[in-house]
Amino acid sequence: MLDALFDKSLLGYTSLGYRLRPHRPIETDLEGRIAIVTGATSGLGRETASELARLGATVTLVGRNPEKTERVAQEIRKSTGSSKVATAIADLSSMAEVRALAGRLEPPIHLLINNAGVLLPERSETTEGIESTFATNLLGHFLLTNLLVEKLERPARIINVSSGGMYSQRIHVDDLQMKQGRYDGTIAYARTKRGQVILTELWAQLLEPKGVVVHSMHPGWADTPGVSESLPLFHKLTKPLLRTPAEGADTIVWLAASEEAGRSSGQFWHDRRPRPTHRLRGTMETESERRMLWRRLAELSDYSGPMSYPVPAG
C-alpha cells in the first residue's frame, strides 16, 4: 500500500521514499563474475562499482580521465579489500573510442552497467558531428552493448541506468539530436533516457535466446556531482530530500546480483520493483518508431553487426 502511494508521488523519488521501502542488504556472492561499469568515477557509477567489488566481482571502471579513473580504482580497492578492480579509458560520446574500448575488453563479461551520462545546458556536438548528450547517453551505449554481445557469457545481465525524467518525454525519431527548434538540455536528457528504456525492451527480445537478461531502472533523486553541476537550482532546493549515491545505486546493484531480477527481462525498475514505462499517454511510441529508433542508431553509429531488429523499409 505504502509503495503504491509513493509510486504515484514524487516523494517516492526522495530519500524518504527510499527509507520507507524495505531494502534488505545485498550479500550475493559474485565471485567469478566480471562486470563493466561505464561512468564509474563518481556518483551512481562509483557506488555501483564499489558494491560489485565488495560482493566479489571483478570490476572494470570505464572513465574518460585516466588519472581520475585510476585514483577511484585505488580507493575502491582500498575500501573493499578487492584487488580485482581494473580501469579502461574511453569517452562514450566518441564512436571511435567506443569501438576501441569494445575491442580491448576481454571475454567473458557477465555484467554490463550502462551508466555514463551527461546533462548539458547548451547544445554542442562531438568531433564526429553528433549532439553530445545524445552521443553519450544513448548512441554510445547502443554501440558498446551491441559490440559486446558476443563477449557476454550467460547468465549475463545488462543494466541501463535511466531517469524518472524520461516519464515526461516521448522519443522523437525524426529529431534525435534536437536540431529542430530551441534546445533544452533537460528535455534532451530526458529523451535519451526514454530511448534507453525502449532499447532495454528491444534488447530483451533479441537477447532472450542467448540467456541474457536486460533491465533498465531509475535511481530517484540522488545527490551526485552530475545533479549538482547540471541542475544547481534543483540541487539547492531539494538537497535535504536527495538520496545518497549509495541509495540511488541500490537498485542497480540489486538488478545485477539478485536471483529475482534474473527471472524476468526487459522491465523498468525503481527501488527494486518493476514500474510502468509510461505515466502519460502522450509519451507512448509506436512499434514503427521503435524500429526506426534502432535503424537511426545503427546508421549514426555505423553499426552493422549481428545484432539486428526489424526496421521499416525506405
Would you state the pLDDT for residue 111? 98
Mean pLDDT of 185-192: 98
Q: pLDDT tens digits for 99-124?
A: 999 999 999 999 999 999 999 999 99
Q: State how far the Cα of 226 lies from the Cα of 161, in Å rounded to an integer.
A: 14
Supply the pTM of this predicted model.
0.96
Look up cell 540467456; give the residue.
211
Structural domain contains residue 313: no
The yes-or-no verdict on residue 2 having pLDDT over 80 is no
Please indicate whether residue 167 is annotated as part of the active site.
no
Q: Taking the mean position of all CA atoms in its chain, how far away is CA 260?
A: 20
The dihedrals phi and psi of 156, each to the nearest 5 degrees, come to -100, 155
Mean pLDDT of 34-40: 98
Structural domain contains residue 18: no
Q: State how far the Cα of 65 lies from the Cα of 308, in Å rounded to an integer.
A: 33
* Collapsed DSSP state (helix, strand, coil) of residue 250: helix
Structural domain contains residue 78: yes
Share of the chain above pLDDT 70, in %: 97
Structural domain contains residue 307: no
Would you state the pLDDT for residue 5? 63
Q: State how far the Cα of 261 lies from the Cα of 272, in Å rounded to an integer.
A: 9
Structural domain contains residue 47: yes
Residues whose CB falls within 8 Å of the CB of residue 172, separated by 6 or more in sequence, listed in order:
178, 191
Using an 8 Å Cβ cutoff, are 163 and 270 in contact? no
Residue 309's pLDDT band (cuts 50, 70, 90): confident
Burial of 312 (0-12, 13-18, 19+ CB in 10 A): exposed
Would you state the pLDDT for residue 314? 52
Structural domain contains residue 22: no
Q: State how far the Cα of 118 lies from the Cα of 137, in Å rounded to an integer.
A: 7
Would you state the pLDDT for residue 9? 75
Residues whose CB falls within 8 Å of the CB of residue 5, separated by 6 or more in sequence, listed in order:
none
Structural domain contains residue 311: no
Buried-state track 222-254, b at ≥16 Cβ within 10 A, e below 16: bbbebbeebbeeebeebeebbbebbbbbbbbbb
Mean pLDDT of 287-306: 96
Q: What is the CATH number of the domain that holds 297?
A: 3.40.50.720
Residues whose CB falls within 8 Å of the CB of residue 100, separated by 6 or more in sequence, listed in order:
90
Given the residues 18, 167, 189, 303, select the one marked as catalytic.
189
Mean pLDDT of 227-251: 93
Mean pLDDT of 290-310: 94
Would you state the pLDDT for residue 3? 73
Q: Which amino acid is at 146?
A: N
Mean pLDDT of 234-260: 96
Q: State how far the Cα of 269 lies from the Cα of 112, in Å rounded to an integer.
A: 16
278 or 233, higher pLDDT? 278
Give the closest residue to 3 by CA, choosing from 21, 16, 19: 21
Using an 8 Å Cβ cutoff, are 266 and 153 in contact? no
The yes-or-no verdict on residue 8 having pLDDT over 90 is no
Residue 313's pLDDT band (cuts 50, 70, 90): low
For residue 122, what are the domain limits?
Answer: 31-301
- What residues form DSSP beta bridges with 35? 59, 111
Q: pLDDT tens digits for 76-99?
A: 999 999 999 999 999 999 999 999
The yes-or-no verdict on residue 6 having pLDDT over 80 is no
Q: How many domains does the chain have?
A: 1
Would you state the pLDDT for residue 304? 93
Using an 8 Å Cβ cutoff, are 92 and 98 in contact? yes
- The 3 state secondary structure assigned to 271-303 is CCEEECCCCCHHHCCCHHHHHHHHHHHHHHHCC
Structural domain contains residue 9: no
Name the DSSP class of 309: -
Q: How many CB atoms are located within 10 Å of the residue 33 CB? A: 23
Q: How far is CA 125 from CA 64, 167, 170, 177, 204, in A?
A: 17, 25, 22, 9, 30
Give the closest residue to 253 by CA, choosing from 240, 280, 271, 228: 271
